[in-house]
Amino acid sequence: AQKITQTQPGMFVQEKEAVTLDCTYDTSDPSYGLFWYKQPSSGEMIFLIYQGSYDQQNATEGRYSLNFQKARKSANLVISASQLGDSAMYFCAMREFTGNQFYFGTGTSLTVIP
Amino acid sequence: ETGVTQSPTHLIKTRGQQVTLRCSSQSGHNTVSWYQQALGQGPQFIFQYYREEENGRGNFPPRFSGLQFPNYSSELNVNALELDDSALYLCASSSDRFGYTFGSGTRLTVV
């Protein structure tokens, strides 16, 4: 079974609008971390936001927030006030406490329209 | 603090050849891991090194091998290159379980 599922291959959003990128995960480890990365065409994975499995509050980092629904095993990324520079690939990833690797989804290509 | 540096940035090799990719870890990071990202896919875990010892490996054949040096820099070696090895290879370093920094990657093309 896929550890991370991203069902939106591509998304479009108007500049200054908010957008939600979906991510579901699968693990039996009670302790894990969920991550979102941005990958521009240059290739670098840029860390955006982290949510621990025991965190009670949803994580926020500036314009990024993570909508963590543990029972549903979902960790959606919300980008508020989209900017043209937000156009990139976005990857959801998980790291289990007992493991030593990231599991990545297949990514969502976000295009911000002026 | 410096980030993770990978070299070369681009590389073209012929099928059957061998290649070495290099990664300079972020200062203070003693763990390095390598990922292969095929076109249109998410990164796949190759292996991880902690203090010069391999401590995890993904589903990659033995012709993918690595080294970590005392200064925590690392190499990824791939022997007998195949066309399917064409990908972006990402290196990530860390000093703890969750704080990983990725490099910009090496784009390998096998022809």
- B17 within 8 A of B72, measured Cβ to Cβ: no
Look at residue B1 in the predicted model and tell me its pLDDT: 52
What is the average per-residue pLDDT within A4-8?
A: 97
- Quick one: chain A helix, strand, coil %, rounded to 5? 5, 50, 45
Who wins on pLDDT, B95 or B104? B104
Task: Give mean pLDDT, residues B78-86.
Answer: 98
Q: What pLDDT is stored for residue A45 in this prediction? A: 93
pLDDT value at A54 more than 90:
yes
Q: Minimal Cα distance from B54: which residue of A?
A: A100
Question: How far is A44 from A48, CA to CA, in rounded Å?
Answer: 12
Q: What are the residues whose beta carbons fall under 8 Å from the beta carbon of B104, sequence distance 6 or more?
A: A42, A43, A44, B6, B9
Record the tokens describing residue A31, joined without a space. 């302790």
Compare CB distances from B42 to A52, A101, A107 and report the shortest one's residue.
A107
Tokens representing B93 are 């370093």
Please judge whether B88 and A43 are an interchain contact, meaning their C-beta atoms are less than 8 angstroms apart.
yes
Identify which of A39-48, A74-83, B22-31, B48-57 has the greatest average pLDDT: A74-83
Question: Could you report the per-residue pLDDT of B61-73, keeping only the tens digit for each?
Answer: 999 999 999 988 9
Q: Are A31 and A97 in contact (CB under 8 A)?
A: yes
Q: Where are the beta strands (DSSP E) in B2-73?
A: 5-7, 10-13, 19-24, 31-37, 44-50, 53-57, 64-68
Q: Which residue has the tokens 């508020």?
A: A80
Look at B102 and A33 and tell me if their CB atoms are within 8 Å. Answer: no
Judged by phi (left if over 0) then psi (alpha if -120 to 50, else beta), residue B97 lies in alpha
Cβ(A90)–Cβ(A104) below 8 Å:
no
Contact (CB<8Å) A44/B103: yes
Q: Do B48 and A91 touch (CB under 8 A)?
A: no
In the predicted structure, residue B27 carries a pLDDT above the cut 60: yes
Mean pLDDT of A39-48: 93
Chain A partners of B56 at a C-beta cutoff of 8 Å? 99-101
In contact, A113 and A86? CB cutoff 8 Å: no
Q: Does B36 contact A at CB distance below 8 Å?
A: no
d(CA B9, CA B31): 21
Task: Identify the DSSP state of B27.
Answer: T
- Please tell me the distance in Å from B79's CA to the nearest CA on chain A: 23
pLDDT, averaged across chain B? 93
Percent of chain A with pLDDT over 70: 99
B20 at interface of A, judged by CB pairs closer than 8 A: no
Cβ of B107 within 8 Å of Cβ of A43? The answer is yes
Asked if A97's CB is within 8 angstroms of B43's CB, the reply is no
